[in-house]
Amino acid sequence: MKAHCATAVLAALMFAWLPAWSQEASTRMLQQPTDWKNTEAIAGMIYPFEIHAVGSSIYFRRYDSAGEPIQASPITRIDADGRETSLDLRIVPGAESRVYVMTWFVNPDGSFYALDLFYEENTDWLVSYDSAGKFEWKAKMARVIQAPDTVVPLDGGNLFLVSGTIIGKKPAPRAAISAIFDRSGNLVRDVTLPTDSTEVEVNVAGRTRTLNPSARATVGSDGLVYLMRQATEPRVQVFSSSGDLLRLMDLTSPKEAGYPMDIYADGDQVIVMCALGTSSAPSPQLARANPNILFFDSRTGKLNTQRYYEGVGVPISFRDGHVTFFNTRGDHISVGHAAFN
């Protein structure tokens, strides 16, 4: 939160495999991932929620900073030609304290937006970087969000949807926040739902455990933004590309489906990745290794189908009816694929 070599076949691994798929939403199922291929990139300790597939590149973070949180680690980009590049987004002119990149978004052209915490100053900054990870501009946020989970640009980068948790000082309680800010860091409007919670109780192996849910967001193939806060029965806010709230969906799934961890949107489906409980609380690592994937109608929130996978790794991209999995096999990173049928 790299500097090794990766093979030049990565682009083919990610996108040359795309087969045809059925248009029958009610029967869409994932085939088992196939065509696993190792890159030459060393796996390391990968932060499970910081992996993105954009175009023909994969972006992720590893624990590369000894004694520092993952937010101090650089981003690795593996490009279509096999090059692996380390991008350190902590280099921000004018910062007089340590910079932690709390959450980040990759644009289609490979440039970045990030929410950076200037640690000693206790200030949050919206920062723009080019595709090489070089600083472009920054804006001080009107509100400090100690634990931001997601930042998504709206209106061509003039507005930003930010969601996370305001921790505050004890005894003040944690507070969920979802809000839209302008590119100067000013609060435009608060879109936090009354039901958004910073604690949720789940039953794991017959025991009740309390989790601190995160907010997850994705830009669908339809250009809309889908925002979900983790909950046993999550609600999804759907925003237009200009930031207007279009609809609110309640996603209802079987209790045995697991705990929702991440969200994607492709075509007419909202796709939720869940973690199944074991002897410990659901975790990102567990979900990413053994995801239970639920497929909902993107208009109604009705569950279409679900499919469980064991040991497949990270689903990082749902695109045109296909999913790309990212995993570690031995000491190396692997990419596998599956299609709806």
Residues 4, 85: Cα–Cα separation, whole Å: 8
Q: Which residue has the higher pLDDT, 174 or 97?
A: 97
3-state secondary structure of 184: coil
Reported as a single tens digit per residue, the pLDDT across 90-135 is: 999 988 889 999 999 999 999 999 999 998 888 899 999 999 999 9
pLDDT at 12 over 60: no
Tell me what pLDDT residue 276 has: 66
CA neighbor of 104 nearest in space, from 158, 154, 60, 165: 60
Confidence of residue 229 (pLDDT cuts 50, 70, 90): confident
Tell me what pLDDT residue 54 has: 84
Across the range 16-32, mean pLDDT stands at 34
Reported as a single tens digit per residue, the pLDDT across 244-301 is: 999 999 988 777 777 788 899 998 999 998 876 544 444 444 445 677 888 999 999 9
Confidence of residue 331 (pLDDT cuts 50, 70, 90): low
What does pLDDT average to over the chain?
A: 76
Tell me what pLDDT residue 66 has: 65
3-state secondary structure of 109: coil
User: Which long-range contacts does 315-318 make (Cβ < 8 Å, 24+ apart)?
Assistant: 315/264, 315/273, 315/288, 315/291, 316/51, 316/52, 316/53, 316/58, 317/14, 317/53, 317/264, 318/264, 318/265, 318/266, 318/271
Instruction: Give residue limits of the domains in the chain.
Output: 10-339
CATH of domain 10-339: 2.120.10.30
Give residue for tokens 């709390």. 102
Q: Tell me what percent of the residues of the chain surpass a pLDDT of 90.
A: 34
